[in-house]
């Protein structure tokens, strides 16, 4: 266990490796990023950035993708035990970890926003000697949590870029959108609803890895739109032997829905995906089941297909409930859309990248989802520009695996390119 950070000095934000390691040791899953937000907030405050956060800025109170009350409270206790100041804990508690840092340049110009995701995954990190963070002593010291998708690196890149840009030698305004809960595509929607992208002219997001070769940068394609659905079926319990006819089985409805969801059609017009990944139907073998909760996702490579597929998924859920005389409550716990990088941004990168030792590759398929796309599409629909950039980082182990790691040498060039790109407007 960590000895607490009270004794630790704040890292230099230009030292992306130090920042990343600090974060790597303290991974926090979605909406629980109190220590992470506190560290970033503190460094940015020191750099003179204007900071806004807390429940007044972004409302997540009724978010169906929020962790449980117990998990939220445990995060508060954990952060406090690590020495996070009470005011900071108070600001970021209850899922309110989203915050915004802004700096105005010396010349007028566009509002350029960078989405920075902060959350870790509920995965137990490898402690094997072959796993670099374990060997170097910065492996996760939070049981069952791990930065296994590189968001620690994303925050480190953003903070180094912020340090570079603190000279204010750029046009317009830079806004860093520190987003919780990218995993489960949960955190962007409430930030978008709070209007944080309404006035944005350029929206950028950076993601390390995904097989991008070292020293390379590329726009991501096949960023699928997705909806994460939680369906809770409520039936009527009854003794399965003494009065089975009085029951209404929530589990039968859920099982019908599982098959019906997986039978949703392929689309000729776009890539789609459907998966039911979880089902919990507690009770007893001799009782007609009264409660079943399933977790599913749909994905689509096009917005119209995404809408259509989600509508049909909901039809399946409601129809399955009706079949078996039960009710169902469907909540969308996560949401992303499909989006693509504007050519205008790629043009700038092609020009700038070599100066930072990076090479622009042709677009690469991600075949996954990221709710940065919600910001991207929103900005593009208002005639702004958006880009989602993959940066090679010599990753080890697959994303979301206990042995995932990244080559820290990729952090500084990525940050430098990001700062240069911002300065290019």
Of residues 183 through 222, those in contact with a copy of itself by CB under 8 A are 184
Task: Say whether residue 70 binds a copy of itself (CB under 8 A).
Answer: no
H or E stretch covering 49: none
How many residues bind a copy of itself (CB under 8 A)? The answer is 72
34 sits near a copy of itself (criterion: CB under 8 A): no
Give the number of residues written for the chain. 425
In the complex with a copy of itself, the residue whose CB is nearer, 105 or 209, is: 209
What is the rounded CA–CA span in Å between residue 122 and residue 28?
8
Which position among 78, 147, 160, 299 is part of the footprint of a copy of itself (CB under 8 A)?
299
Residue 68 binds a copy of itself, judged by CB under 8 A: no
Contacts of 178 (CB under 8 A, 6+ apart): 37, 40, 53, 97, 98, 99, 100, 101, 116, 118, 155, 158
Name which of residues 300 to 319 contact a copy of itself (CB under 8 A). Answer: 305, 308, 312, 315-316, 318-319
CB of 372 to a copy of itself, least distance (A): 16
In whole angstroms, how far apart are CA 295 and each of 229, 276, 278? 6, 6, 5
Closest distance of CB 338 from a copy of itself, Å: 12
> Is the Cα dihedral 142, 151, 400, 181 positive or negative?
positive
125, burial (CB in 10 Å: exposed 0-12, middle 13-18, buried 19+): buried
333-362 residues near a copy of itself, rule: CB under 8 A: 334
Instruction: Give the containing element (helix H, strand E) for 330.
Output: strand 327-336
**Nearer CB in complex with a copy of itself: 306/348:** 306
Residue 277 or 362 with smaller CB distance to a copy of itself = 277
Q: Identify residues 131-190 at the interface with a copy of itself (CB under 8 A).
A: 184
> C-alpha angle with apex 241: 238 to 247, nearest 5 degrees?
25
Distance CA 26, CA 141 (A): 6
Take residue 288 and report the two structure tokens written for it: 């007609």
Q: Min. distance of Cβ 271 from a copy of itself in angstroms?
A: 8
Q: Which is nearer to a copy of itself, 77 or 262 (CB)?
A: 262
Q: Which is nearer to a copy of itself, 96 or 272 (CB)?
A: 272
| Residue 231 phi, psi dihedral angles, 5° rounding | -115, 125
Q: E strands, 48-201, where?
A: 50-53, 99-104, 107-117, 171-179
Quick note: the x/- pattern for a copy of itself over 89-128, rule CB under 8 A, is ----------------------------------------
- Please say whether the beta carbons of 356 and 394 come within 8 A: no
Which of the residues 316 through 335 are near a copy of itself (CB under 8 A)? Answer: 316, 318-325, 334
Of residues 375-414, those binding a copy of itself (CB under 8 A): 400
Q: Which is nearer to a copy of itself, 90 or 312 (CB)?
A: 312
Give the one residue of 32, 292, 385, 406 binding a copy of itself; rule: CB under 8 A.
292
Site string for a copy of itself, 249-288 (x = CB under 8 A): x-xx-xxxxxxx-xx-xxxxx-xxxxxxxxxxxxxxxxxx
Q: How far is the CB of 219 from a copy of itself (least distance, A)?
A: 18
Please say which residue, 14 or 287, places its beta carbon nearer to a copy of itself.
Answer: 287
Residue 56 CB contacts under 8 Å (≥ 6 apart), including other chains: none
For residue 57, CA distances in Å to 75, 93, 203 come to 20, 13, 19
């Amino acid at each position: 266990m960590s000895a607490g950070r009270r004794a630790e000095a704040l890292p230099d934000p230009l030292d992306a490796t130090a920042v990343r390691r600090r974060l790597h040791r303290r991974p926090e899953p979605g909406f629980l990023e109190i220590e992470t937000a506190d560290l970033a907030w503190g460094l940015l405050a020191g750099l003179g950035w204007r900071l806004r956060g807390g429940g007044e800025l972004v409302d997540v109170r009724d978010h169906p993708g929020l962790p449980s009350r117990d998990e939220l409270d445990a995060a508060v206790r954990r952060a406090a035990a690590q020495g996070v100041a009470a005011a900071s804990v108070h600001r970021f508690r209850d899922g309110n970890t989203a915050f915004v840092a802004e700096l105005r340049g010396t010349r007028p110009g566009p509002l350029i926003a960078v989405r920075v995701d902060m959350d870790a995954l509920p995965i137990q990190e490898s402690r094997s000697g072959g796993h670099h963070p374990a060997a170097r002593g910065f492996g996760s010291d939070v049981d069952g949590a791990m930065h296994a998708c590189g968001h620690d690196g994303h925050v480190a890149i953003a903070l180094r870029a912020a340090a570079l840009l603190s000279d204010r030698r750029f046009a317009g305004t830079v806004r860093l959108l520190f987003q919780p809960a990218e995993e489960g595509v949960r955190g962007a929607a409430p930030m978008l609803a709070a209007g944080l992208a309404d006035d944005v002219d350029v929206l950028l997001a950076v993601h390390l890895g995904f097989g991008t070769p070292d020293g390379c940068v590329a726009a991501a394609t096949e960023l699928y739109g997705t909806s994460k659905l939680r369906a809770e079926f409520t039936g009527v319990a009854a003794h399965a032997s003494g009065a089975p006819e009085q029951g209404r089985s929530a589990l039968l409805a859920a099982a019908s829905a599982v098959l019906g969801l997986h039978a949703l059609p392929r689309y000729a017009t776009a890539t789609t995906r459907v998966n039911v990944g979880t089902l919990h139907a507690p009770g007893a073998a001799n009782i007609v089941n009264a409660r079943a909760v399933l977790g599913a996702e749909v994905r689509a490579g096009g917005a119209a297909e995404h809408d259509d597929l989600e509508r049909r998924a909901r039809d399946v859920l409601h129809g399955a409930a009706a079949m078996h005389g039960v009710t169902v409550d469907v909540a969308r716990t996560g949401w992303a859309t499909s989006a693509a990088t504007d050519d205008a941004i790629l043009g700038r990168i092609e020009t700038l990248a070599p100066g930072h030792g990076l090479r622009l590759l042709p677009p690469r398929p991600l075949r996954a989802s990221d709710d940065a796309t919600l910001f991207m599409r929103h900005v593009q629909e208002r005639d702004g520009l958006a880009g989602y950039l993959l940066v090679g980082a010599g990753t080890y182990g697959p994303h979301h695996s206990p042995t995932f790691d990244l080559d820290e040498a990729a952090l500084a060039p990525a940050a430098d390119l990001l700062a240069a790109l911002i300065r290019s407007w």
